[in-house]
Structure 1
Amino acid sequence: MPPAFYKEGDYVIGGIFEIHYYLHTVQHNYTTMPEPLKCTGSMDTRELRFARALEFAVKEINNRSDILPNITLGYAIHDSCGAAPVAVKVAFQFANGLTPRVTMMPSCSKTANVVALVGASGSTPSIGMSRILGRFGIPQVSPFATCACLSDKTQHPAFFRTIPSDHYQAAALARLIKHFGWTWIGAVRSDSDYGNNGMASFLAAAQKEGICVEYSVAFYRSNSQAKLERVADVIRSSTARVIVAFLAPGDLRILLEELTRRPPPPLQWIGSESWVTDTELLRFEICAGAIGFGIERSVIPGLRRFLLDLKAEEASKYPLLTEMWEGAFGCSLNTVQTKTGHSSAVVPCKGNENLAAVQIPYTDTSQLRITNMAYKAAYAIAHAIHGLVCKDMPGSMSKCNKSKVLEPIQVLEQLKRVNFSVNGYPVSFDSNGDPVATYELVNWQTMQDGSVQFITVGRYDASQPKGQEFRISESITWMKGQKKVPVSVCSESCPPGTRKAQQKGKPICCYDCIPCGEGEISNETDSVDCVSCPADHWPNAHRTECLPKPVEFLSWDEVLGIVLAVCSILGACITVAVATVFYKHRMSPIVRANNSELSFLLLFSLTLCFLCSLTFIGQPSEWSCMLRHTAFGITFVLCISCVLGKTIVVLMAFRATLPGSNVMKWFGPLQQRLAVLAFTVVQNVICILWLALSPPFPIMNFSHYKERIILECDLGSVTAFWAVLGYIGLLALLCFVLAFLARKLPDNFNEAKFITFSMLIFCAVWITFIPAYVSSPGKFTVAVEIFAILASSFGLIICIFFPKCFIIVFRPEQNTKKHVMGKVELKAL
């Protein structure tokens, strides 16, 4: 295949670009020589601009005195039409020349036709060429092949590129999608090395970012129409509103033409660098609002003048320029069909047409991106040659040896060390032959006049520290011109207070939102798990934060506490009032007949019983926990001891009236005091041992209620607690039995009857207290205990003292010895 553009030189640089979209194919019959490979289809004038940028760079280098002075570079530029067979054939030509015959001579020339080459534009042609050129050590510098696979130096030892690898672009695209909260996307790619490898890198990066792909489809421009329609139908029927396209421009153009026939719902297109800055695609309104990473925009001084300074006469010398000229102006430079197979137009060209007057990608130098990559590739090769054949002299022009024969392998090794800047753009290669990855974030924005333009809205620089590579500096216009970021998720975000539960058989981005369980919260959107609150905290109603649990105890300022406190004080006051009445009438028969000493001691103990219930109210503390149970136990034993003493006195008094009985001398006042003291001392001993060995102490009870804390007193020794209650119960039962036995003694004011009733009430209260105490929750446990104390205390004072007080206050005429002894019949009350 002859080159499309050729120039002789001391050293020749090869070039190969995808200027046409298709390879002309024929059915071989194997009876005649196959036709030469040739490109067909429409022309990509953008790629033609890349090829002419290589021409311009060579011309500029030849005119410079600081690079390769007195040395002329040449070029041989081919059109690969994006086909691997053409690229492979051109690779062999670069290595061996155009000789059509195979020689059987024992030796042949080992010198390649070119010292290095620029290209190819696509990854698949570049891979095919690299596998051949690498065997000969011929360096290949691509301005547009981005497949990450080309960074493998074991497979592609002679490959370099001035455009970043898709490894970085894939990571940047995944970061971009994550940044905007898109977790449900579609993916379409070219069924080529570029598309398949680029999409594989992207999907791996997307998976790390938690992004799910609803579909991933591939096609190539040469696939059947049925295959193209299937791909388009998948896109139309999807629920993802964001689509990532790793496509070559030619493949995307065909896909967009198919989608335009029957448009899908509005889609947010995310583009790879291959098409997101291609001006030929701006005519497809379906892509308005597209966003993607493009190569940085640049300025090449003099390039626009070079491209436009083309006359019809010069264009007619080259088939590619002729085809471009005829397509741009709609006229024919030749009266016959061109060698490219392009039919001549009916109207002949005048020859004075001006390229500056037409708007085609060839003439558009406002967005020089890949063009600059080809320009830098030419300069990289020139600097490598300069380092081999020239010797820099301080203060004067470099001395170069144009007669020096260069082996491509020498240029290859020198390319690894180049490090320079051209027009302010640095050029260097890492160990993989890749440059530093920098991208512009490009947005397709619709202007006021209705035109769509590329607007740079951000930047990605892989050389920056992790987390700082990506930034957005301008506002973005999304699909259909909207300013609000579109939403593309399989499931709506789970609000705080819920967690994600993956839907069975679906990707991780498809989930249900499950409310957090009891005692758990999630304070972030899309939480995977709920977190348990600390033991002293509980979730709020929305389960988004842990709040301190309310502390519960029987407090002074709540209704129940106030009522019980009032009852306690009231009981104590009543007891004091009764004691006052008894004291004022201490010499009256009814008081003297009922053992006034024990009565006053009983009233004193009852007052303490009423008051000890107050220790159960309020926030538990160490002293209140120890005091409430021990004080209750001791005062109640003192109380029951007095009642028991009174009961024994009644029995002894009755026995003393029998002839010959001398029993009262054995249970006189001293013995009564000693009995009360003895009964009380036993309880004191129990309480002292309790306090000494395992005293009650305040605790925070987390187990009874999950949502609140109960402040209560732990009994310490449960055995001691029940020993205190058991001892009280034993004395109460003994008192009840004795009082029951004495209930029918002949006495108008038989105290045994009243003691029986009081003990009956006392025992009933405390028997019912046990199950109520065990089953009552929280502060009600304390309330039950206080109620039992008050009920039994009121039972004692009402049953034992109220009848006497009634006689003393309201029936003083009955407060006589005769009435007390039952010798005067009482009138009905």
Structure 2
Amino acid sequence: MYILSGQQTILNFKCDSSRSVAALIEGFTDEESYIFYNMFQIYRYPQVSYNSQNLYMSHPVQYPYFYRTVPSEFHLCAAIGKLLKYFGWKWVSITSTNDESSMKAAQILREVIEWNGGCIKFHETIPHHSLITKSQLYKIIKSIHESSTVNIIYLNKNSISFQEFLMNLHLQKTTGTIYITINEPEMMRELLLISRMKNNTFIFVPYKNVIPNFLKFIREVKPFWLASDIFGKDWWEYLCDSRCPKNIKRDCNFIYKNNTFTHCINTNFGNSYSVYNAVYAVAQALHDMIMSDSGNGTTWIRENKNFFYSMSWKLHRYLRNLHFKNGLGEELYMDKNGDLATGYSILNLIIFPEWEWKYEVIGHYNPHAPPGQDLIIDEKAIIWENSLTQIPPQFRCTPSCHRGYRKLPKQGQPICCYDCIQCVEGEISNQTDMDTCITCPDDQWSNQKRDACIPKVITFLTFEEPLGIVLTFISMFFFLVTAVILGIFIHYRHTPIVRANNRHLSYILLISLMLCFLCSLLFIGYPEDVTCILRHTTFGIAFSIALSSILAKTITVVTAFQATKPGSKLRKWMGSRVSVSVVLCCSLIQIVFCFLWFFIAPPFPYLNMRSEIRSILIECNEGSIVAFYCVLGYLGFLAIISFIVAFLARNLPDSFNEAKYITFSMLVFCSVWISFIPTYLSTKGKYMVVVEIFAILASSAGILGCIFLPKCYIILLRPQRNSKKELKKM
């Protein structure tokens, strides 16, 4: 009040103009800064704090006259969150004082931790304005030491219980835990002597730097300069202590030793750097205002001074837009909240043998730096506790889920507590602690460990594999057998049994069966455009010729029986021309279907990635499904017509009747293809091709065996029966 009024007796009245106030630079506590602001704002005095980090006062609208040269607690919460994320610490406990600012900061800290995927094990509070009870103290300390968490001690250093809590906390014998605090505790030598402190503490303090010539000044300061400051004189005498660093130790003609020498372990001397910047900031703002009001360098006369002192509120505009260099050459400016754009230093409390200790700067946090460059950690400078089994240590409710596994949250537990389950087939996790597994692309599949997608194996029915070799052998065997039978029929073409029922139809049928056996080979090997088109069209046309030949044979049987009746007009329909015409007409219809199929939507090679989970099947896509079923349906139509006609003619008394054999052959053919449909639809991959080949071979072999083997038996083994006389007895 004396400073504001210029006198000691009269309040709210300014008597001494020489003591007019331009700005107030203060080092109050958080609460005091808030209380005194309400008085300073009446006169619109700029209030520049070098100590208060009060979270609530970073609001330029509510607190337009408040400035500070230390960062807000909001940035402190972000800095702690960044450090936790850097080391991957996700299991955290918080102890804070119950003052309003600390509680708000703890809430923000909780949100930051949870945003980064961490969890809060517990949040305990200790009283700020009163002593903590023994029961409260032991309860909190027990909770801290029983939990494998990173312990954030967010205590207001002006709290009554601050020192007592820290001392009792460090008296406990603990290993494998980490503490993060926001203040440099004023350690006493007795505390170190009786405690079991370890290298496990990180401390966040506002950024500090060594002021030029400051160390020289404090060594050479004269005692009478400190006559009015009792604490200052004691502080200066402490510098004679032999344990002080050389750069600040004074040369004294006596040996001074005291149990408390806090400033000796702090080379930056508390708030000195912040005070230094506060003075520079106000001085620079005053300079900018004076130069602005004085125009082009006019003389700063007494009248201007009086006017200036009565208009000190004008200083705010220059403080808000302040950008200057301090004596260290650092570029400094005020941010939009009126806070100096600075950050935090991260200290590591290092304990040496013989209970010596020091603070080591192991990192910095600058909230105004570009993203990714705001947090800098020098891991090599960190001294970890010897008992740690893992460096840096890990703090989690649940150990990390390794690659190939994903997290499954536990019911009723924080999100950090989970079970690890392996990804299902076709999915992977290529990082630790993944929430969900990644589905592999269609052309890839998960490996056995489920941590990488590998290309699927390309599969198709090859000639080299055992199944392909067997089917090829069977196809060629039946092809050769059919060729031999054709040779036999050509050699014995003049015998009655060959001439019966039109030998030309027998030749056509045998040749078509040879094509059927050969076309099965088109289904083996790498599918290409040509092979995909040929395998279906060749199959359809070859079988239509075979079935047309069988139908013509059946019609020939019926016609021959009817033509033997007296006066029958069917005699003129007897002969090879009619039979060949039936074959050509029936086959031509199938050829038209195949050509339409080719021009509308022909078959094409297709990569089937879904039939088999671990492989890609190269198969022939039918193209037009309608055309495909028309081709198969037409074959079925011919087979059914042939079967019906042959079945009706099976008991005809003609000696040359082969309707019985055709009936059996069509029965085999229809049985094979009827059973083919459900079998084909129930198989996957290359085995679908195997089923199709088997159906072709089985139906072709059935026709060959039922129609031609009995005749071959008579021709080769019973030649005496291959005569008109014997055939009439049959």
1:572 aligned residue: 479
2:261 aligned residue: 360
Mapped to 2, the partners of 1:275 and 1:565 lie a distance apart of 86
Quickly say closer, same or farther: Cα 1:285–1:564, change in 2 above 3 A. Answer: same
How many residues of Structure 1 are paired with residues of Structure 2 in the alignment?
A: 703
Quickly say closer, same or farther: Cα 1:404–1:639, change in 2 above 3 A. Answer: closer
1:477 aligned residue: 383
Match of 2:213 among 301, 305, 324: 301
Counterpart of 1:667 in structure 2: which amino acid? Answer: M
Quickly say closer, same or farther: Cα 1:727–1:713, change in 2 above 3 A. Answer: same
Mapped to 2, the partners of 1:462 and 1:648 lie a distance apart of 97
CA contact (8 A) 2:486 2:507 kept: yes
Match of 1:190 among 97, 100, 104: 97
CA contact (8 A) 2:163 2:185 kept: no
Match of 1:223 among 125, 128, 131: 131
1:234 aligned residue: 143
Counterpart of 2:338 in structure 1: which amino acid? Answer: G
Counterpart of 1:576 in structure 2: which amino acid? Answer: A
- Answer yes or no: is 1:256 the counterpart of 2:177: no
Instruction: Mark the runs of 5 or more structure 2 residues left unpaired by the alignment.
Output: 242-251
Mapped to 1, the partners of 2:44 and 2:500 lie a distance apart of 132
Quickly say closer, same or farther: Cα 1:400–1:572, change in 2 above 3 A. Answer: same
Match of 1:290 among 163, 181, 201: 201
Quickly say closer, same or farther: Cα 1:581–1:364, change in 2 above 3 A. Answer: closer
Match of 1:556 among 463, 481, 485: 463
Summarize the alignment of residues 42-191 of structure 1 with structure 2, pairs less than 5 Å apart.
Answer: 92-96=1-5, 99=8, 109=15, 116-191=23-98
Mapped to 1, the partners of 2:89 and 2:419 lie a distance apart of 17
Mapped to 2, the partners of 1:480 and 1:702 lie a distance apart of 55
Mapped to 2, the partners of 1:411 and 1:365 lie a distance apart of 37
Mapped to 2, the partners of 1:357 and 1:224 lie a distance apart of 29
CA contact (8 A) 1:115 1:408 kept: no
Greater CA deviation, 781-790 or 457-466? 457-466
- Answer yes or no: is 1:410 the counterpart of 2:338: no
2:246 aligned residue: none
Quickly say closer, same or farther: Cα 1:109–1:154, change in 2 above 3 A. Answer: farther
Mapped to 2, the partners of 1:474 and 1:808 lie a distance apart of 97
Deviations 1:580-620 (A, max 9, x none): 22222333443334533222122111111111222222344
Quickly say closer, same or farther: Cα 1:551–1:498, change in 2 above 3 A. Answer: same
Counterpart of 1:470 in structure 2: which amino acid? Answer: L
CA shift for structure 1 position 140: 3.5
Mapped to 2, the partners of 1:817 and 1:756 lie a distance apart of 24
SS of the equivalent of 1:422 reads coil
Match of 2:273 among 369, 372, 380: 372
Summarize the alignment of residues 639-654 of structure 1 with structure 2, pairs less than 5 Å apart.
Answer: 639-654=546-561
Mapped to 1, the partners of 2:579 and 2:287 lie a distance apart of 128
Match of 2:669 among 742, 762, 778: 762
Counterpart of 1:296 in structure 2: which amino acid? Answer: K
Quickly say closer, same or farther: Cα 1:433–1:694, change in 2 above 3 A. Answer: closer
SS of the equivalent of 2:197 reads helix
2:698 aligned residue: 791
1:213 aligned residue: 120
2:177 aligned residue: 267
CA contact (8 A) 2:6 2:15 kept: no
CA shift for structure 1 position 173: 1.9
SS of the equivalent of 2:326 reads strand
Quickly say closer, same or farther: Cα 1:617–1:145, change in 2 above 3 A. Answer: same
Mapped to 1, the partners of 2:456 and 2:146 lie a distance apart of 51
CA contact (8 A) 2:27 2:49 kept: yes
SS of the equivalent of 1:182 reads coil
SS of the equivalent of 1:135 reads coil
Counterpart of 2:201 in structure 1: which amino acid? Answer: A
Summarize the alignment of residues 732-771 of structure 1 with structure 2, pairs less than 5 Å apart.
Answer: 732-744=639-651, 751-771=658-678
CA contact (8 A) 2:554 2:646 kept: yes
Summarize the alignment of residues 768-787 of structure 1 with structure 2, pairs less than 5 Å apart.
Answer: 768-787=675-694
Deviations 1:50-97 (A, max 9, x none): xxxxxxxxxxxxxxxxxxxxxxxxxxxxxxxxxxxxxxxxxx444347
Greater CA deviation, 429-438 or 787-796? 429-438
CA contact (8 A) 2:21 2:309 kept: no
Mapped to 2, the partners of 1:142 and 1:611 lie a distance apart of 97
CA shift for structure 1 position 150: 2.9
CA contact (8 A) 1:704 1:778 kept: yes
SS of the equivalent of 2:696 reads helix
1:602 aligned residue: 509
CA contact (8 A) 1:694 1:716 kept: yes
Mapped to 2, the partners of 1:808 and 1:692 lie a distance apart of 46
2:245 aligned residue: none
Counterpart of 1:558 in structure 2: which amino acid? Answer: E
CA contact (8 A) 2:171 2:197 kept: no
CA contact (8 A) 1:188 1:247 kept: no
Quickly say closer, same or farther: Cα 1:221–1:267, change in 2 above 3 A. Answer: farther
SS of the equivalent of 2:430 reads coil
SS of the equivalent of 1:136 reads coil
Quickly say closer, same or farther: Cα 1:697–1:387, change in 2 above 3 A. Answer: closer
SS of the equivalent of 1:163 reads coil
Mapped to 2, the partners of 1:321 and 1:369 lie a distance apart of 14
CA shift for structure 1 position 457: 1.9
Deviations 1:506-531 (A, max 9, x none): 43333344444564443333333334
CA contact (8 A) 1:158 1:412 kept: no
CA contact (8 A) 2:605 2:618 kept: yes
Mapped to 1, the partners of 2:446 and 2:64 lie a distance apart of 62
SS of the equivalent of 1:757 reads helix
1:48 aligned residue: none
CA contact (8 A) 1:304 1:365 kept: no
Counterpart of 1:377 in structure 2: which amino acid? Answer: A
CA shift for structure 1 position 180: 0.6
Counterpart of 1:438 in structure 2: which amino acid? Answer: G
Instruction: Mark the runs of 5 or more structure 1 residues left unpaired by the alignment.
Output: 1-91, 331-350, 824-829
CA contact (8 A) 1:593 1:820 kept: no
Counterpart of 1:120 in structure 2: which amino acid? Answer: G
CA shift for structure 1 position 222: 2.7
2:585 aligned residue: 678
Deviations 1:706-738 (A, max 9, x none): 554444444445444444334333433443344
Counterpart of 2:34 in structure 1: which amino acid? Answer: I
Mapped to 1, the partners of 2:542 and 2:323 lie a distance apart of 102
> Could you tell me the percent identity over the aligned residues?
35
CA shift for structure 1 position 542: 3.6
SS of the equivalent of 1:125 reads helix
Mapped to 2, the partners of 1:791 and 1:372 lie a distance apart of 97
Quickly say closer, same or farther: Cα 1:739–1:193, change in 2 above 3 A. Answer: closer
Deviations 1:293-341 (A, max 9, x none): 3332414525466468676x998875546877999999xxxxxxxxxxx
CA shift for structure 1 position 361: 1.9
CA contact (8 A) 1:497 1:516 kept: yes
Quickly say closer, same or farther: Cα 1:93–1:202, change in 2 above 3 A. Answer: farther
Mapped to 2, the partners of 1:811 and 1:137 lie a distance apart of 132
2:364 aligned residue: 459
Please provide the CA RMSD for this pair: 4.2
Mapped to 2, the partners of 1:546 and 1:206 lie a distance apart of 33
Greater CA deviation, 623-632 or 174-183? 623-632
Mapped to 1, the partners of 2:562 and 2:78 lie a distance apart of 108
